[in-house]
Amino acid sequence: MANKCELSQYMSRERILDIETISKDDLLNKMADLISSDAKVVDSIQMKRAIFEREKSMSTGIGNSIAIPHARTDSVTDFIVCFARIKDGVDYDALDQKPVNLVFMIVAPASEDKMYIKLLSRLVLRMKNDDFIQNLLDADTPERLFSLICDTK
């Protein structure tokens, strides 16, 4: 694994979803299924279970239309990130009780404590940038979404 801690290292254009409307459970399932197709996933059932168990303990809807479902699990060999934009928003039980439009899902190996915290922290800091959020909401294609995520630090 590289020393840098950038989302773009763990993403691909194929893991960008642009959805009109969806329920929270369907969204989490769809994103987990997309991640499961990655060769770094050794047990997709365990990986999906880890995501849902983490979500049951406390909603990962952090407010400001953003959610970051995440889990550490032995079912993956490296970090994997998936992104979804839900144009109509999804009832996500977010901290601010508002719909969520932007979702980053992160799975990581169970042994990756420091890098896991660092990646989550960097993402949360980026999500405090109102211009970045607005650009993600306004992007006209999944390619543009991917470009914004990869190019914005």
Q: Are 92 and 100 within 8 A, CB to CB?
A: yes
> Amino acid identity, residue 125?
L
Condensed to tens digits (0 to 9), the pLDDT of residues 44-69 reads: 999 999 999 999 998 899 999 999 99
Nearest of 10, 47, 48 to residue 29 by alpha carbon: 48
Provide the CATH number for the domain formed by 7-147 in this structure: 3.40.930.10
Instruction: Decide the pairing of beta strands 80-90 and 100-109.
Output: antiparallel
In this prediction, the residues of the chain whose per-residue pLDDT falls under 70 are 1-5, 152-153
Q: What is the pLDDT of residue 8?
A: 79
User: Residue 102's beta-bridge partner residues?
Assistant: 66, 85
* pTM for the full predicted model: 0.92
∠ CA 29-129-118, nearest 5°, is 65
The Cβ of residue 112 has, within 10 Å, a number of other Cβ atoms equal to 16
Look at residue 131 in the predicted model and tell me its pLDDT.
93
Q: In angstroms, rounded to a whole number, what is the distance separating the alpha carbons of residues 6 and 55?
A: 23
